[in-house]
Amino acid sequence: MEQNYQRLDPVVIGCFQRFHPVDWKQLDWSAKAVRAFQREAIEYGIGNQGYSVPVRGPNGQFALFTVNHSCDDATWAAFTETHRRDLILIAHYFNEKALEFEPNRTPDFAQALSPREVDAMTLIAIGYSRAQVASTLQISEHTLRVYIESARFKLGATNTPHAVARALTRGLIVV
Amino acid sequence: MLRYIYGSDLHKLPVLAASMFKDRADQFRTRLGWEVTVNEAGEERDEYDDMNPLYVIWENDQGTHGGSMRFLPTTGPVMVNDHFQHLTTGTIRSPLIWECTRFCLNKDADGTVAAALMLGGGEIMRGFGVAHFVGVFDARMVRIYRMIGSSPEVLGSEGEGHDRIAVGLWEFNTEAQAKVAARCGISPQQSQQWFEQAFGSSRTQDWAQTG
């Protein structure tokens, strides 16, 4: 951190804001400072092969999962080719578990809105009246009230505008 | 040539990007009559363009847009889950399933452009371990997909005739990929080279020996 390695590390630079997995060989290690960083990493026991999976989580969360090993290119290529999909899935499961351990994160996950609730909240968010929402979704206003109430409860909101605001900020609806 | 480019890098190819968004306006609003948002510059953009998607773009010799499509992983917000869940009976969410949207062709593009884009989709599946693409498409595309030899499995649909829209699932299939390649006359080596140009090659350099 002190040396600002996160600004230098090709793995971080090459994976941030991305969502495809990256073999370290695909990255640019040519700059002088980067090569020094790389030598230091190897001195500290980092292997010569790496495969990193960026994870694009909910609400703009970002994580990076890496497997690292020392072996020759052919062995590494065979390993990543065979296990690539498993590594991608492991990366995402690790991330979900890590988020569960983080305080105050679990409720966000547990409270996914149902498709109908999302429809209702989305239409309200774009300015439809309750009558218009009900007619668009081809349901009665009474049924609509049930959806809104259920969504409001899941979102821990005190009223409908509050629920719409929470659904938007959590990325549960997109307008 | 085929370009693979994230939204955050589009500014590096301003001509290509602007002509893509204009062609999207032409296709989705003018020709198909969809209710999409077109800005003052005549460009069609939506909220998913702001989520840094990966675009696959066919670039003409003049540097302009010939055709394109847009990818986002279904682990984040995607159209099929946000707007078309009633067609799929539930959320589609997996890091191995990417959504493909805004499949667009310039009005003068010939049949090889669509096939070249499909070839690019195949490179993504093979290169990144993606198992399936999911996407919403309209009746008009059924014929195009069949013509280029890459028809999806339909998960659900609504509407009739020209108004019919469906959610489809594509998977990688060596045979289909070969058919698509033959259709657009692009060699597998050429296709792979474009892919590596965008994402780097994992074959040539040895990490240990450069240190």
For residue A55, the cross-strand partners are: A63
Phi, psi for residue B74 in degrees, rounded to 5: -80, 5
* A92, A165: one domain: no
* A58, A79: one domain: yes
The amino acid present at A154, given as its one-letter code, is K
Residues of chain A positioned with their CB less than 8 A from the CB of B96: 85, 88-89
Is the CB of residue B126 less than 8 Å from the CB of residue B97?
Answer: no
Sequence-distant (≥ 6) Cβ neighbours of residue A168 within 8 angstroms: A125, A175
Q: Kindly tell me if the per-residue pLDDT of A36 is higher than 60.
A: yes
Does A175 map to a domain?
Answer: no
Sequence-distant (≥ 6) Cβ neighbours of residue A123 within 8 angstroms: A132, A133, A136, A137
- This model of the complex carries an ipTM of 0.83
Q: Return the structure tokens found at A170.
A: 């959590």
* A155, A87: one domain: no
Instruction: Give A109 or B146, the one with higher predicted confidence.
Output: B146
Is the CB of residue B87 less than 8 Å from the CB of residue B155?
Answer: yes
Q: Tell me if chain B has a CB within 8 Å of the CB of A67.
A: no
Q: Would you list which residues of chain B are within 8 Å, Cβ to Cβ, of chain A?
A: 6, 8, 47, 52, 54, 72-73, 75-77, 82-83, 85-86, 90-91, 95-96, 124, 127-129, 131, 199-208, 210-211
Q: For residue A101, count CB atoms less than 10 angstroms from its CB and return exposed for 0-12, middle for 13-18, buried for 19 or more.
A: exposed
* A11, A70: one domain: yes
**Chain A CA closest to residue B195:** A26
Tell me the per-residue pLDDT of B15-50, one tens digit each, with 9 for 90 and over.
Answer: 999 999 999 999 999 998 888 999 999 999 999 999
Kindly list the distances between the CA atom of residue B201 and the CA atoms of A77, A89, A110, B190, in Å, as whole numbers in the listed order: 12, 23, 40, 13
Is the CB of residue A49 less than 8 Å from the CB of residue A70?
Answer: yes
Number of domains in chain A: 2
- Mean residue pLDDT across chain B: 88
- Domain limits for position A65: 5-106
Q: Is B2 helix (H, G, I), strand (E, B) or coil?
A: strand
For A39, the closest of B83, B90, B211 (CB atoms) is: B211
pLDDT exceeding 70 applies to what percent of chain A? 90
Q: Return the structure tokens found at A64.
A: 């990076």
Residues in chain A: 175
Q: Which ranges in chain A belong to alpha helices (H)?
A: 10-15, 32-43, 73-101, 106-110, 115-125, 130-137, 141-155, 160-169
* A17, A100: one domain: yes
Any idea what the CATH number is for the domain that residue A63 is in?
3.30.450.80
Count of other CB atoms within 10 angstroms of residue B122: 25
Q: Kindly tell me if the per-residue pLDDT of A107 is higher than 50.
A: no
Residue B104 confidence (pLDDT): 94
The mean per-residue pLDDT over the stretch A47-55 comes to 92
Q: Kindly tell me if the per-residue pLDDT of B90 is higher than 80.
A: no
* A115, A102: one domain: no
Does A116 map to a domain?
Answer: yes
Domain stop point among A66, A91, A106: A106
Report how far residue A23's alpha carbon sits from residue B204's, in angstroms, rounded to the nearest whole number: 12
Residue A103 confidence (pLDDT): 64
* A52, A87: one domain: yes
Any idea what the CATH number is for the domain that residue A119 is in?
1.10.10.10
> What is the arrangement of strands in the sheet containing B2-6, beginning at the earlier edge strand?
B2-6, B54-59, B65-73, B97-105, B132-138, B165-171, B153-158
Residues of chain B positioned with their CB less than 8 A from the CB of A84: 129
Which numeric CATH code is attached to B2-200?
A: 3.40.630.30
Tell me the per-residue pLDDT of B61-81, one tens digit each, with 9 for 90 and over.
Answer: 999 999 999 999 998 889 998
* A119, A51: one domain: no
Q: Kindly tell me if the per-residue pLDDT of B209 is higher than 50.
A: no
pLDDT exceeding 90 applies to what percent of chain B? 54
Sequence-distant (≥ 6) Cβ neighbours of residue B119 within 8 angstroms: B2, B177, B180, B181, B184, B186, B191
CA B35 to the chain's CA centroid = 20
Residue B203 confidence (pLDDT): 60
Residues of chain A positioned with their CB less than 8 A from the CB of B201: 25-26
Domain stop point among A106, A127, A158: A106
Window from A81-85, A105-109, A171-175, B56-60 with minimum mean pLDDT: A105-109
Tokens 């988020």, located at residue: A99
* A130, A68: one domain: no
Q: Determine whether the interchain pair B202/A49 forms a contact, defined as Cβ–Cβ distance below 8 Å.
A: no
* A90, A16: one domain: yes
* A160, A118: one domain: yes
Q: Determine whether the interchain pair B95/A25 forms a contact, defined as Cβ–Cβ distance below 8 Å.
A: no
* A51, A37: one domain: yes
Domain stop point among A106, A125, A148: A106
Q: For residue B85, count CB atoms less than 10 angstroms from its CB and return exposed for 0-12, middle for 13-18, buried for 19 or more.
A: buried
